[in-house]
Amino acid sequence: MSILKHKREQANLTQEELSANSGISIRTIQRIEAGVDPKGHTLRSLAKALGVEERELLYKQEPSDKKEPSGITEVHKPLRNGIVKLINLSSLPLTVFPPANIVLPLLIMWGTRQFNPLTKQIVSVQIMWTIFSIIFFMLTAFIKNWFSLGNQVSLVVMILLVMINVFIILRNTAEIDRKGKLRYQLNFSII
């Protein structure tokens, strides 16, 4: 498997998505995945879109001794997945304060320099969930007043929103552990 294809699949991107994110044509991506080395602007654009260093895309095939292109062995791969899982799980303690559940993952992401599409997608999911939660909670409060429902409705909705967010976080963590990608993700990245 070509290194570009490996990195693209690791980032959970299709060729079309990588093309849109990098500005490189799908045909060029197909040629590189078939074995042509990327150069210049193409190399820089693809590396930036995948959140990897340029030199990591210069190998045509993965080395057969189970090493990453950058020289990192498989032994270190769980550490990187561990950091990605930590970034995802860091939203859990702050799920009851929707805007705060974005801050801690962002701080860990920047502190560990994990600026890859997967970590960006984790934070994007939390940002979208926060926006959705606030809108849904406001609508519930409006409807509650309109139909003269009790205060229990707001509490039930708030607990339900927190439980759904916890489920999304835990399900994504399990999927990162199993397949190295997210179960629930957006078709775009906010950051």
Each residue's pLDDT tens digit, 74-117: 333 333 678 888 888 998 888 888 788 899 999 988 888 888 88
- The CA–CA distances, whole Å, from 24 to 16, 29, 39, 40, 182 equal 10, 7, 12, 12, 25
The DSSP output letter for 58 is -
pLDDT of residue 124: 92
Tell me what the mean pLDDT of segment 27-40 comes to.
86
pTM of the model: 0.56
Domain range annotation of the chain: 3-57, 74-179
Q: Could you give the CA distance from residue 112 to residue 103 in angstroms, rounded to a whole number?
A: 14
| Overall fold of domain 3-57 | 434 Repressor (Amino-terminal Domain) (1.10.260)
* Token representation of residue 159: 């607990």
